[in-house]
Amino acid sequence: MSGSVLITGGAGFIGSHLADELLRHGYRVRVLDSLVPQVHGPDADRPAYLDPEVELIKGDVRDPAAVQKSLVGTDAVFHFAAMVGVGQSMYEIERYTSVNNCGTAVLLEAMAQARGDRKLIVASSMSIYGEGRYRDGSGAYYDNVMREVGQLQRGKWEPLLGESEPLIPVPTPEEKAPSLASVYALSKYDQERMALIVGGCYRIPVVALRFFNVYGTRQALSNPYTGVLAIFASRLMNGNPPRIFEDGRQQRDFVSVHDVVTACRLALEVDQQKQQLFNIGSGANISVLQVLERFCQVLDMDSIEPEITGSYRAGDIRHCFADITSARDVLGYAPRVNFEEGLRELAGWL
C-alpha cells in the first residue's frame, strides 16, 4: 500500500510504533505532536526512537492552524493525541477534557472543512466498558454488576471476590453497553461518538479501535499513571517491591504494542465505508499476579515478594478482557506476539 498518513500524538508510545509499522509497509508518515514534557522531557525534543523518515510537526491538536497544516496532502488520519490515565483524569479534569474532547473537535472540524475522503482511525479504550462481561453458572450474561460488588468491598477487603466470586468473567464484546467510570473513559467515549457522528455527516469513514492493556517498549516508565507493566518495571529497577492492588486475581487482556499497530494498519487498509468499532486485545485473560510472576521470571527476579495491598485503587474495575471476534472477522486481525516473547522484549529495552 502507499499513501500519506497523519498520526496525531505519533511521538508517543503506540503512535511511534505505528509510524514504524506504516513506514515498513510503504506509507509516508507525518506526525503532529506537542511533545509534552511529562513524556518527552523538559526540552521537549524529537524522541530518538522516532524514525528519521517521519515528518514531525510540533504542535497542539487543539490548535486549528497546526491541524490544518498537518492535514495537507494526507490520505488518512490516526488520532492518538490524548491524555492517558484513569486516575489522573479524576483530578486533571479540565486538561483531560480539553485535550481529548476539544482536540478531537478541532481535528474533526478541520477534516470536515478540508473535505477529501480521508479515513479517520480513532484510538479508543476498553475503559469505556467499565466492568467487563460476566456469566453465572446457568450461562446467563451480566453487564455492569461487579463494580457494585466491588464498591461494597472498597476500603474493607473481604474475600467475596477471588476464589468465591459469584460470577465468571467472559470476553467482552463491542455490543456491551458503556459504563463510564472516569473522566478519561468519558472523554474516550466522547471521542468515538463525536468522530462517528461528524464522520457520518461529512462522509468521513471512521474506525474506532478500543485498545485493551497495551504494553511494550517506549511506554513511559516515569509516569505513575501509565500501564501496570511499566509501573512494575520502574519499581523493580529502583529496588522497590511491586505493589499489587486487590488480591492480584483481577484479570486483564495484555496486548503487545506490535499486535496493536498491526490492527491499526489493517483498520486503515480494510475496504469499508461504514463506521466501525473494534476491540483490540490479545483475546486472552491473565491475572495481575500472573503478569508479575512472568515478568519477574523473565527478569530473573523470582525472589521478589510483591506487596499485596488488598485495597481497591479508586476507579478500578475487577475484570475485563476482549472478545476480538469482530476484529478477526472483519479486519483479519490475529495477535501474534506471545506474552513471554513480549515481556522479554520489554525487559531487553529497560
Q: How big is the chain, counted in residues? A: 350
- Please state the closest distance from residue 83 (CB atom) to ligand UD2, in A: 10
CA 66 to chain centre: 25
Return the C-alpha torsion angle 152, 154, 157, 161, nearest 10: 60
Q: Grid coordinates in use for 300?
A: 530473573
> How far apart (Å, rounded) are the C-alpha atoms in residues 130 and 128?
6
Query: Is the CB of 84 or the CB of 236 nearer to ligand UD2?
Result: 84
> How far apart (Å, rounded) are the C-alpha atoms in residues 240 and 306?
9
Return the C-alpha torsion angle 17, 258, 131, 278, nearest 10: 90
Query: Is the CB of 104 or the CB of 125 nearer to ligand UD2?
Result: 125
Query: Is the CB of 74 or the CB of 217 nearer to ligand UD2?
Result: 217
Query: Is the CB of 202 or the CB of 245 nearer to ligand UD2?
Result: 245
- Please state the closest distance from residue 88 (CB atom) to ligand UD2, in A: 10
Query: Is the CB of 105 or the CB of 231 nearer to ligand UD2?
Result: 231
- Please state the closest distance from residue 79 (CB atom) to ligand UD2, in A: 15
Do 71 and 77 meet the contact criterion of CB atoms below 8 Å apart? yes
How many other C-beta atoms are found inside a 10 Å radius of the C-beta of residue 292?
Answer: 21
Pairing status of strand 133-135 against strand 168-170: antiparallel
Query: Is the CB of 185 or the CB of 261 nearer to ligand UD2?
Result: 185
Cell numbers 500501564: residue: 227
- Please state the closest distance from residue 157 (CB atom) to ligand UD2, in A: 13
> How far apart (Å, rounded) are the C-alpha atoms in residues 7 and 18?
8
- Please state the closest distance from residue 212 (CB atom) to ligand UD2, in A: 7
Closest CA to 36 of 15, 64, 5: 15
- Please state the closest distance from residue 185 (CB atom) to ligand UD2, in A: 6
- Residues at the site binding ligand UD2, with contacts judged by CB under 6 A: 84-86, 125-127, 182, 185, 213, 226-228, 231, 243-245, 250, 252, 288, 313, 316-317, 320
